[in-house]
Structure 1
Amino acid sequence: MAYIVTARKYRPQVFEELVGQEHIANTLKNAILKERVGHAYIFSGPRGIGKTSAARIFAKALNCKNGPTPTPCNECTFCTEITEGRSLDLVEIDGASNRRIDEIRQLRENIRFVPSAAKYKIYIIDEVHMLTSEAFNALLKTLEEPPSHVIFMFATTEINKVPQTIRSRCQQFVFKRIAIPEIVKMLKKVLRDVSMEAEEDALFWIAKSAVGAMRDAQSVLDQMISYCEGTIKEEDVFYVLGIPSYDIYHEFARSIAGEDFSTAVSLLDKLLRDGMEVSTLVTGLIEYFRNLYILAADKETSNLVDLPEQDIDTMKSFLSSFTKKDINNILVLLSRTYLDTKNSGLARELLEITLIKLVRYKDIIQPVSLIKRLEELKQKITAGGQVADEKKNTPPPEDNEEKDVSNASEDNADMIKRIISHFSKKRRAIAEFLNRAKKYNFDNNLLTVTYEQNERLSYEHVNEDSTKKFIEKEINKLLQLDIRVNFVINNRKAPGKEDPPLSPEVSKVIDVFKGEIIPNNNYGGN
């Protein structure tokens, strides 16, 4: 007898054998028991998780000589013909190959004929999303009111590409990815039947590489059975799949934690020489530090990390070296590298640059942290260099300057606050410049804003023609009044004080950077 691959040999034949899709199996069985079988179904989900198998089992359940029944016998003529793929009343169509309107028109002609022997004529269209728009349109009327002897079953991996007009005429079933423990259980059954053994970790990595697809896992197992002479070992799985072992990622994490660039780049060089793809390494590193972040967030969440127990224990040992903030910074770097290396001719160099940054992860400063530091620095400069805590404990000087709203009632003082608040939402820079003014004078619809000499920069910004017009326009809109704004600068010198002469170097700096001299009233020197 010819060899049959594992995925075909162990294809589910009854609803109970649909691994990980119990919600769908129970719904279809109950539909048969309650005589509520629809005329069109659409099965969606990732590849290799049982969509076509479920459609075939449903077809057997409907056409079995004992049926419709939720438990097809798999012995009668109808069941065996469907199992062997030679039933005249079960038509399987590949949507990718028969996607044009001509094929759908032919299908519309054929559905008028009654089944040759079975109760129902069943059409299974796989990868239905590949049909053209014209083909979908030609199918609409037939799908809405098909003959009583016809049942349609569609399967697709991309439900979003199926028109809503088609989906609304079908009962939709969403298939889930299969959990790793359930895939491992099936692999063990296959190994028992072929009298082979495998390490538990080897089966885990086979199941994990399948990403929830039973068919993919069974195909990899076929490869491993052919490759291994005896027991299937963990290192054999990594070698055949062409992916780095998890110990490699532990080594990367160890070198990053120890700020050891030479070890990290040597490890990278060895892996690339062995044929490893940069994209595979970057993806693996992202997944590794994602798992590490979950463990750092809460040590009780290890159940969210799909890894063998010894690998989880190794990762937990790194938590003393990495804080959550460190791991977050590392993930940001790796995510950027993933995008930068896609389709890049400098993928290796970009990854090496990332490694340089990773081993200096403690020096990484995110823009948010930098902005926070700048805000703190700004507060210190505004306060004349004093730290906020010192300001709280220092009594205000006798000549403490507060905002002076001359000739203004309490309502006018509130009006000034409203104006500044309004600009803080419109243009924060203008609000800041207005807030630095020394004096406000509101008289006869004229608002005079006075600045001290040390706020000349603020004065020049707000007194610029376009900015001044914008300020007047916004104030008039806010207050519903016709108000003119005048900005002035106080030219008075403090008694007994003259401006010290500036050195040529300082004058040059002021000229280049358009700066100004800001007096430090808190400086204790002479």
Structure 2
Amino acid sequence: MSYQVLARKYRPQQFDEVIAQEHVTRTLKNALKSGRISSGYLFTGPRGTGKTTTARILAKALNCAEGPTATPCDKCPSCKEIIASSSLDVLEIDAASNTGVDDIRTLRENVRYLPTSGKKRIYIIDEVHRLSGSAFDALLKTLEEPPPHVVFIFATTEPHKVPETIRSRTQRYDFHRVSVSDLSTHLKNIADSEKIEIDENALFTIARKADGSVRDGMSLLDQMSAFAGEKITVQSVIEALGLIERQFYFDYVAAIAAKDASSALDMVKKLVDSGIEIPEFCQGLADHFRHLLILQNSNNPEKLLELSESEMESFRNQVDYFTSGDVLRMIRIITDMTADLKSGIDPRLLLETNTLKLATMESTVLFEDILAHLADDEDIEEEPGSGSDLFGTTAAPKPTAVHPVSEPAMDAPPLEPTVGPSEVRAINMPMVQTAWPEYVDHLKRSNPMLSALLAMAEIKEVRDNIITAVFFNAGGTSKQVVEKPHYMSIISESLREYFKTNLKIKFEVDLNNKGKKEHKSPAQPEKIDTEKLLEEDDKLRNIVERFEGEIVGRKKADD
């Protein structure tokens, strides 16, 4: 026996076997049970969702020896003939190749004849919207007053092209796109029946490529089983179908978030060299940002996003890279670029220029945030004992009676530096991770000790402009040192100076993790008697007093 493709081998033969169209099959089954059979049906919906299949099942249900019934037996001669597409009482007509009025006139002549063996004479007209206007007019009278033994079933992907006069004389059933989860489950059952081993991510990739079409999904699974054999992986699906690996989008977005234009342009070159169409990449990139936007704003993103568990986790890792306003602007840039691609401009040039636009785009600042910063600035300026205004100059005392205020102690936490509204911008984790080594070098110029300690820390999280840094192993001592108020003030000021915005930082210790890379522990400062040292060295004492410094250790100078 010749090989039968999966789309035909696993074509549903009962209403309950139709995938994800319960709202249609339930109504038809109830109508058959109650005997409320219409003379005309209009099945609409995307390709591959079961319109023609449901029409055939309905034809079997009407002409079955036990019918009309909601469960045709598939054993009687009428059911077998319909399954084999050889029934004289069920005529399938392709409207795309029978568009003229003469074809409809022939149909009108034939409807007068009674069925040969079944109970009904059923006409299934696929892609009915392809009929000409005169053909619809010729069909109108027959459809309005059909013979009692005739049933018309129309199927179309474009119901808006069907005249209203036809739609008003039929019962309309809208077939929905099949979700990725439902389609992947269906494909998994077929793969198990065919003894094909396939991983979860490969199933989701095939289901997404099918775009809601069960027929397309089964055809792709058939193609992949021929390509990969008995074991199908997501990598084999990407290679066989010429898709863009999802990790490529994650890497590209990470480069954009880190404002690493060089890496992003390198990825564009890699994309172009691989031969992938740039419009396809733009569509996938817009879809990637859509996932991030939904994760940021939806309480139940799992219901809206058709992703596997591993993919969902990867998207959650990037959800804090941008604000919702940034994502909306990026989607707008991508959609504008997609429109520009149709103008004939070099696609690579467009992608490179828009990549630079994305990588250099400043973060969105809400007006409410600016007002909040202004309000904070006013509060700080008016705080008693602050001693300085917004610009760091000494504020004149107000002519009001105040109680004497003792001078703040050295360990009292100083006021955090403020920035103007123009410096309010969001910082994300890729930006901090990329710039952290340079920041540590920047801090080294003013405070080598703090720089050495921060070099041992790794960035764990950046959220709402708050950096979480982690010390590993025996990092408790380092954490205690850098969290001293005086040193925290130096770190905060240097962060503001380097990143050009207000940033806060907090530190944690992870004793169960050695970190991604080993760091050399800094040499412990020699224990010395600072009072004795200052008494013995007048020059050193003068330096310490003049600069209000402190001795943290002693090191032998290099020759």
Normalising by the residue count of structure 1, what TM-score does the alignment of the two structures yield? 0.68
2:61 counterpart residue number: 61
1:312 aligns with 2:312: yes
Deviation at 1:112, TM superposition (A): 0.7
Deviation at 1:315, TM superposition (A): 2.2
Deviation at 1:311, TM superposition (A): 2.3
**Aligned residue identity for 1:196:** I
1:86 counterpart residue number: 86
Q: Name the CA distance, whole Å, in 2 between partners of 1:302 and 1:65.
A: 46
Instruction: Give the direction of change, closer, same or farther, for the CA distance of 1:31–1:248 in structure 2 (3 Å limit).
Output: same
Q: Name the CA distance, whole Å, in 2 between partners of 1:80 and 1:47.
A: 26
Check conservation: 2:187, 2:218, Cα contact below 8 A.
yes
Deviation at 1:343, TM superposition (A): 5.3
Q: Name the CA distance, whole Å, in 1 between partners of 2:355 and 2:228.
A: 36
RMSD: 2.0
Deviation at 1:230, TM superposition (A): 3.5
1:37 counterpart residue number: 37
Check conservation: 2:289, 2:327, Cα contact below 8 A.
yes
Structure 2: segments with no counterpart, 5+ residues: 372-559
Check conservation: 2:200, 2:308, Cα contact below 8 A.
no
1:127 aligns with 2:118: no
CA offset digits 1:303-324 (Å, max 9, x no partner):
3222222222222222333111
Q: How does 1:425-444 map to 2 (within 5 A)?
A: none
**Aligned residue identity for 1:147:** P
1:8 aligns with 2:8: yes
Q: How does 1:306-455 map to 2 (within 5 A)?
A: 306-342=306-342, 344-362=344-362
Equivalent residue pairs, number = 371
Q: Name the CA distance, whole Å, in 2 between partners of 1:217 and 1:343.
A: 33
SS of the aligned residue for 1:362 comes to coil
**Aligned residue identity for 2:263:** T
2:249 counterpart residue number: 249
Q: Name the CA distance, whole Å, in 2 between partners of 1:51 and 1:182.
A: 17
SS of the aligned residue for 2:20 comes to coil
- Give the 4+ runs in structure 1 shifted more than 3 A: none
Check conservation: 2:45, 2:156, Cα contact below 8 A.
yes
Check conservation: 1:128, 1:156, Cα contact below 8 A.
yes
Deviation at 1:164, TM superposition (A): 0.2
Q: Name the CA distance, whole Å, in 1 between partners of 2:324 and 2:363.
A: 15
SS of the aligned residue for 1:42 comes to strand
CA offset digits 1:184-220 (Å, max 9, x no partner):
1221222122211000110011111111110010010
Check conservation: 1:18, 1:54, Cα contact below 8 A.
yes
Q: How does 1:15-30 map to 2 (within 5 A)?
A: 15-30=15-30
1:236 counterpart residue number: 236
CA offset digits 1:75-109 (Å, max 9, x no partner):
00000000000000000000000010010000000
SS of the aligned residue for 2:362 comes to helix
Deviation at 1:300, TM superposition (A): 4.7
1:294 counterpart residue number: 294
**Aligned residue identity for 2:121:** K
CA offset digits 1:385-407 (Å, max 9, x no partner):
xxxxxxxxxxxxxxxxxxxxxxx
Q: Name the CA distance, whole Å, in 1 between partners of 2:7 and 2:298.
A: 39
Q: Name the CA distance, whole Å, in 2 between partners of 1:199 and 1:259.
A: 35
Deviates more, 1:275-284 or 1:315-324: 315-324
**Aligned residue identity for 1:267:** M
Deviation at 1:47, TM superposition (A): 0.2
Check conservation: 2:14, 2:57, Cα contact below 8 A.
yes
Q: How does 1:82-121 map to 2 (within 5 A)?
A: 82-121=82-121
Deviation at 1:242, TM superposition (A): 1.3
CA offset digits 1:270-291 (Å, max 9, x no partner):
1222110011000011000011
Deviation at 1:252, TM superposition (A): 0.7
1:150 aligns with 2:150: yes
1:76 counterpart residue number: 76
Check conservation: 2:325, 2:364, Cα contact below 8 A.
no
Q: Name the CA distance, whole Å, in 1 between partners of 2:316 and 2:9.
A: 41
Q: Name the CA distance, whole Å, in 1 between partners of 2:25 and 2:340.
A: 44
**Aligned residue identity for 2:84:** E
Deviation at 1:5, TM superposition (A): 0.8
Instruction: Give the direction of change, closer, same or farther, for the CA distance of 1:359–1:151 in structure 2 (3 Å limit).
Output: same
Q: Name the CA distance, whole Å, in 1 between partners of 2:156 and 2:343.
A: 29
Q: Name the CA distance, whole Å, in 2 between partners of 1:217 and 1:229.
A: 17
1:441 counterpart residue number: none
Check conservation: 1:100, 1:135, Cα contact below 8 A.
yes
Q: Name the CA distance, whole Å, in 2 between partners of 1:229 and 1:29.
A: 40
Check conservation: 2:326, 2:363, Cα contact below 8 A.
no
Q: Name the CA distance, whole Å, in 2 between partners of 1:257 and 1:171.
A: 52
SS of the aligned residue for 2:232 comes to coil
Instruction: Give the direction of change, closer, same or farther, for the CA distance of 1:63–1:299 in structure 2 (3 Å limit).
Output: closer
Deviation at 1:51, TM superposition (A): 0.2
**Aligned residue identity for 1:74:** D
Deviation at 1:152, TM superposition (A): 0.3
Deviation at 1:298, TM superposition (A): 4.2
1:507 counterpart residue number: none
2:159 counterpart residue number: 159
Check conservation: 1:60, 1:82, Cα contact below 8 A.
yes
SS of the aligned residue for 1:320 comes to coil
**Aligned residue identity for 1:29:** K
**Aligned residue identity for 2:169:** R
Check conservation: 2:323, 2:363, Cα contact below 8 A.
no
**Aligned residue identity for 2:39:** H
Check conservation: 2:323, 2:364, Cα contact below 8 A.
no
1:259 aligns with 2:259: yes
Deviates more, 1:3-12 or 1:267-276: 267-276
Q: Name the CA distance, whole Å, in 2 between partners of 1:83 and 1:348.
A: 51
SS of the aligned residue for 1:361 comes to coil
Q: Name the CA distance, whole Å, in 1 between partners of 2:29 and 2:241.
A: 38
SS of the aligned residue for 1:342 comes to helix
Instruction: Give the direction of change, closer, same or farther, for the CA distance of 1:300–1:116 in structure 2 (3 Å limit).
Output: closer
% same residue: 44
Check conservation: 1:279, 1:342, Cα contact below 8 A.
no
Instruction: Give the direction of change, closer, same or farther, for the CA distance of 1:46–1:6 in structure 2 (3 Å limit).
Output: same
Deviates more, 1:238-247 or 1:307-316: 307-316
Instruction: Give the direction of change, closer, same or farther, for the CA distance of 1:363–1:33 in structure 2 (3 Å limit).
Output: closer
Normalising by the residue count of structure 2, what TM-score does the alignment of the two structures yield? 0.64
CA offset digits 1:323-347 (Å, max 9, x no partner):
1121111111111111111352412
Check conservation: 1:294, 1:302, Cα contact below 8 A.
no
